[in-house]
A = this chain, B = another copy of it.
Amino acid sequence: MRESLVAAAFQLFVERGYEQTTVDDIVALAGVGRRSFFRYFPSKEDVVFPDHEGCLARMTAFLDESGPDHEPVERVCDAARLVLRMYAENPAFSVQRYRLTRKVPGLRTYELSVVWRYERALAEYLRGRFSNRPDGTLRADVAAAAVVAAHNNGLRSWLRSDGLGDASAEVDHALAHVQRVLGPEPASGGPARRSGADGGGARDGDEDDDDVVVVVSRRGAPLWRVVQEIETTLGRDPA
Chain A residues in the interface with B (C-beta under 8 A): 108-110, 112-113, 116, 135, 137-139, 141-142, 144-146, 148-150, 152-154, 173-174, 177-178, 180-182, 191-203, 207-228, 230-231, 234, 236-239
8 Å CB contact of A218 from B144, B197, B211, B222: B211
Complex contacts, A201 vs chain B, CB 8 Å: 199-200, 216, 218
Q: Which residue among A139, A146, A174 has the maximum number of chain B CB atoms within 10 Å of its CB? A: A146
Number of identical protomers: 2
Contact at B194–A196, with CB atoms within 8 Å?
yes
Contact at A212–B220, with CB atoms within 8 Å?
no
8 Å CB contact of A153 from B137, B150, B178, B218: B137
Contact at B192–A199, with CB atoms within 8 Å?
no
Contact at A200–B197, with CB atoms within 8 Å?
no
8 Å CB contact of A213 from B196, B217, B224, B237: B217
Contact at B142–A146, with CB atoms within 8 Å?
yes
| CA distance in complex: A234, B209 (Å) | 26
Q: Which 5 A/B pairs are nearest by Cβ-Cβ distance?
A: A145-B149, A191-B220, A195-B199, A211-B219, A222-B239
Complex contacts, A173 vs chain B, CB 8 Å: 135, 138
8 Å CB contact of A138 from B174, B192, B211, B221: B174
Contact at B200–A200, with CB atoms within 8 Å?
yes
Kindly provide the distance from the CB of A26 to the nearest chain B CB, expressed in whole angstroms. 23
A-B contact pairs, 21 of them (CB 8 A): A138-B153, A138-B154, A141-B149, A142-B150, A142-B153, A142-B177, A142-B181, A145-B145, A145-B149, A191-B222, A192-B221, A193-B220, A195-B196, A200-B201, A207-B220, A211-B219, A217-B230, A223-B227, A223-B239, A224-B239, A227-B230
Kindly provide the distance from the CB of A111 to the nearest chain B CB, expressed in whole angstroms. 10
8 Å CB contact of A215 from B194, B210, B230: B230
Complex contacts, A178 vs chain B, CB 8 Å: 142
Complex contacts, A152 vs chain B, CB 8 Å: 141
Contact at B209–A220, with CB atoms within 8 Å?
yes
Contact at B192–A220, with CB atoms within 8 Å?
yes
